[in-house]
Amino acid sequence: MTPPVLRPFPLGAVRVDDASVFARARDEMLHLARVYPVDRLLAVFRRNAGLDTRGAEPPGNWEDFGHPDEEAWGEHDYPGREHAPTANLLRGHYAGHFLSMLALAAAGERDPVLKAKVDGFVMGLGEVQAALAATGRYSHPGFLAAYGEWQFSRLEDFAPYGEIWAPYYTCHKLMAGLLDAHEHTGNKQALPIAIAMGHWVHQRLARLDPERRQRMWSLYIAGEFGGMNETMARLAAAARVPLFLETAAFFDQENVLEAGASGTDILTDMHANQHLPQLIGYIDEYELTGEARYLQAAQGIWSQVVPGRTYAHGGTGESELWGPPGTVAGDVGHRNAETCAAYNLLKLARRLFAHTLDPAYMDYYERTVLNHVLGSRRAARSDTSPEVTYMFPVHPGAFREYGNVGTCCGGTGLENHVKYQDTVYFQGPDGLYVNLPVDSELDWAEAGLRVRLRSGYPLGEGVTLLFEGAAAEARTVHLRVPAWAAGGRELRLNGKAVDADLVPGEYTSVTRAWKTGDVLHLTTPARLRAEPMRDDERRSALFLGPTLLLARSELTTSLPFDGASLSGADAPALLAELASNGTVVLDGVAFEPCWSGLDTKYHMYVRSPEPAIAFDAPVAIEVVGEPAPSGWYTTAPEVRLHASDGTAALELRVGEGDWRPYTAPVTIDTEGVQYIEARATAPDGTTATTGLELSVDTAPPRSRATVKELGSSWEITLHADDAVSGVERIQWEGPGTFWGTFQEAFVRAIGPEPQVVEYAATDRAGNEEPRQRLVIPGKDGPR
């Protein structure tokens, strides 16, 4: 056993103040928790088990009933994809998240009504598990799902995404919800249900050889298992069943473990959120086994993601995939920063900090929980929808698409906003760690103290801790100095200055026997600053203290911004303006906080203006036209030459072509990467040459679909070609799914009516072809 150095407080011991910016999203999600019917969440499970659904409709989207002709097939009676009409194959996952949300909310709010809702939910799942066991159709009586067991057996034969959809991912969400109900609310039934599920998982995987399991987990999406290793390790500890720790190891992905521990970067083109949850599980396995490679792997992969693959708000990935290392500007697309990935990176950061005490993890946590997670929740109340983002895009002219009932990010979004208090404070063997400057109150029962934190965060410039009670012995308070704090920092205890080294991003410590009336105050001056992209210093994100500022603009090309307006900016005045108006105006542009939850179009990054043409140089090239966010010109740019000597003869060469006299602006309409050279020849025969590289791709890719009939369904494969910048992605949508990126063949069941699938390809330059339509015939339609 290797326990962490630090541990969090129970959720009910910390209360985020109602005046905090986080309270808005918390209260909106608590409203959904209180009004949403549990019967709707149980509907897909009851239908699958042949129980009365009590007239309830499922949540919808991914979380729907499935195909009307689909059956709850066992592992041996699945008729094969040629004869198996299926749909909504991830159903049940959203209910697992909702159960977690209810358990977290019940604990955090100390709310008996929410506790009763958890109890009713768990009771319903227990009834379903018993009904499924009574059929004798499944390999073990612990089986519990909203579909048959066949998806798990087909995974063991390496079925692709499309025929199946990440069955262990769904299993994880459900088991995690049950464990949350057990751990946070003390529900007596949840643990036995989870234990039965754990035995079912063990018997399914124990009979497979390790090589087969490794191949299963490597399958794109089909093999995605969420945090099953985390859940099985948690279950091993909660149930005191060592066998489940062995089961957790069945989910170890050896290439990820080896790469993380050795520092080998293998992440490019990997599915980010397919792998992030397992890193959290590796920490659980480390704590229970003491095997250092688990912790090393989690730390190693983390260092490959943060900061080299993260955007200004803490998000990562494009179209759910990681790009090359150290690439931010070069990986900006139109589907950046899946919110699920930020959810898991935050969970990973707090766990790594608890073991290592490295404050860099808390720097990331503060940035992301404020800007990405809080900003991912629409500032609106809903009785039916979590109103959260799937992607939190970063391209010019982006906007947030809220909603996401039944999707993966809809599920993690349910949890995000009812547990803001979970990392504000940690406790260690010597005292208290104050990690986040969030207005809140802590019941530090172990020390006999109550601690109130007042900061006005994120619009304040100081952190004040007020103590009530009397500690029986001296305790150390470790207070984190925010990484964004500017000069003029000061620490005072009961009004007197404390001689302390106040390094931004580090902790400062004060030890005493705390008592009623003690006040510890840290001054944290804010400043306006620009944070350049790692791979393009001319593009920057603007921060006011901890707040990432989003420029409001309808432009879809890069927004020029004169950075000179940052120098000498009056941060207190800007904070007051932001608090009063909800925006600040800089260089004539209105900026809103990233955590606003609004529906505006925005630019997360602004671009430095083009440098003035150096007319005093012998020859200079001016490019007229704006490149796409990718850096490619998607409309043909025009090149103009300028010479400081009006008598010089100017020439231009494109690529390997011949030099030709320059007499008028030239349009560069040759596709591809072109090197442009300019030459000036003075009357005395001396020459001067300069050059630059232009990437031009003005045409979208061309896509096509191939269709194969499989009896009761169609297998569809989408192809695309682009000979210039290359294909970035193909997106499609049809009944029951959304406009998203999928990389494998997919299957659509033949229903009574025709179905329309729309698809389109986008190239790496950013050109997107017009949507194409594919009509899938109904049962009686022509083939």
Among candidates 693, 694, 718, which has minimal Cα distance to 706? 718
Tokens of 4: 């962490």
Give the DSSP letter of residue 341. Answer: H
Task: Enumerate the β-bridge partners of residue 480.
Answer: 507
Where b means 16+ CB within 10 Å and e means fewer, 746-766 reads bbbbbbeeebebebbbbbbbb
Among candidates 516, 2, 650, 627, which has minimal Cα distance to 286? 2
Mean pLDDT of 352-359: 98
Calculate ∠ Cα 765-338-104, nearest 5°: 175
pLDDT band at 617 (very low <50, low <70, confident <90, very high): low
Tokens of 546: 């901890």
pLDDT in tens, 507-537: 999 999 999 999 999 999 999 999 999 998 8
User: What HEC string does 221-270 produce?
Assistant: CCCCCCCHHHHHHHHHHHHCCCHHHHHHHCCCCHHHHHHHHHCCCCCCCC
Mean pLDDT of 721-750: 78
Residues in Cβ contact with 87 at an 8 Å cutoff, skipping those fewer than 6 apart: 64, 66, 67, 70, 736, 749
pLDDT in tens, 703-735: 999 988 776 778 888 999 998 988 878 988 887
User: How confident is the model at residue 782, as a pLDDT?
Assistant: 67
Instruction: Tally DSSP H helices, then E strands, for the chain.
Output: 17, 34
* 557 vs 148: CA distance, rounded Å: 48
Q: State which amino acid sits at residue 156.
A: E
User: How confident is the model at residue 613, as a pLDDT?
Assistant: 42
Among candidates 777, 776, 737, 739, which has minimal Cα distance to 759? 739
* 385 vs 379: CA distance, rounded Å: 12
Which is higher by pLDDT, 478 or 683?
478
Preceding omega of 79 cis (within 30 degrees of 0) = no
* 606 vs 252: CA distance, rounded Å: 42
- Exposed (0-12), middle (13-18) or buried (19+): which is 615, by Cβ within 10 Å? exposed
Residues in Cβ contact with 18 at an 8 Å cutoff, skipping those fewer than 6 apart: none
On whether the CB atoms of residues 38 and 110 are closer than 8 A, the answer is no
Among candidates 343, 329, 423, 408, which has minimal Cα distance to 737? 408
pLDDT in tens, 554-598: 887 788 898 777 877 899 999 999 999 999 999 899 999 999 999
List C-alpha distances in Å: 521 to 272, 421, 435.
Answer: 40, 21, 15
User: How confident is the model at residue 481, as a pLDDT?
Assistant: 98
Residue tagged 């909504």 (tokens): 88
226 conformational bin, left if phi > 0, alpha if psi -120 to 50, beta if neither: left
Q: Please give the distance of CA 193 from its chain centroid, rounded to a whole number.
A: 30
pLDDT in tens, 366-420: 999 999 999 999 999 999 999 999 999 999 989 999 999 999 999 999 999 999 9
pLDDT of 288 > 90? The answer is yes
On whether the CB atoms of residues 351 and 4 are closer than 8 A, the answer is yes
The C-alpha R_g of the chain, in whole angstroms, comes to 29
pLDDT of 614 > 70? The answer is no
Assign 776 to helix, strand or coil: strand
- Its sign, for the CA torsion 598, 602, 605, 606, is negative
Give the DSSP letter of residue 71. Answer: -
* 180 vs 230: CA distance, rounded Å: 13
* 222 vs 164: CA distance, rounded Å: 6
pLDDT of 94 > 90? The answer is yes
* 557 vs 133: CA distance, rounded Å: 58
pLDDT of 744 > 70? The answer is no
On whether the CB atoms of residues 602 and 399 are closer than 8 A, the answer is yes
pLDDT band at 611 (very low <50, low <70, confident <90, very high): low
Q: Please give the distance of CA 377 from its chain centroid, rounded to a whole number.
A: 13
On whether the CB atoms of residues 334 and 384 are closer than 8 A, the answer is no
pLDDT in tens, 206-240: 999 999 999 999 998 999 999 999 999 999 999 99
Among candidates 569, 486, 481, which has minimal Cα distance to 526? 486
pLDDT in tens, 636-675: 999 999 887 777 899 999 988 999 999 999 999 999 888 8
> What percentage of the chain carries pLDDT values higher than 70?
97
Where b means 16+ CB within 10 Å and e means fewer, 249-282 reads bbbbbeebbebbbeeebbbeeebbbbbbbbbbbb
Determine which of 144-148, 274-278, 470-474 has the lowest per-residue pLDDT on average. 470-474
CA atoms within 13 A on the CB side of 707: 15
Residues in Cβ contact with 209 at an 8 Å cutoff, skipping those fewer than 6 apart: none
* 2 vs 12: CA distance, rounded Å: 26
pLDDT of 287 > 80? The answer is yes
Mean pLDDT of 754-782: 88
Assign 724 to helix, strand or coil: coil
Which is higher by pLDDT, 685 or 283?
283
Longest dimension (CA), the chain: 99
Instruction: Tell me what the pLDDT averaged over the chain comes to.
Output: 93
User: How confident is the model at residue 615, as a pLDDT?
Assistant: 43
On whether the CB atoms of residues 30 and 383 are closer than 8 A, the answer is no
pLDDT of 616 > 60? The answer is no
Where b means 16+ CB within 10 Å and e means fewer, 88-97 reads bbbbbbbbbb
User: How confident is the model at residue 575, as a pLDDT?
Assistant: 97
* 339 vs 386: CA distance, rounded Å: 13
pLDDT in tens, 6-57: 999 999 999 999 999 999 999 999 999 999 999 999 999 999 999 999 999 9
* 396 vs 561: CA distance, rounded Å: 13
SS3 content of the chain, % helix, strand, coil (to 5): 30, 25, 45
pLDDT band at 612 (very low <50, low <70, confident <90, very high): very low
pLDDT of 193 > 80? The answer is yes
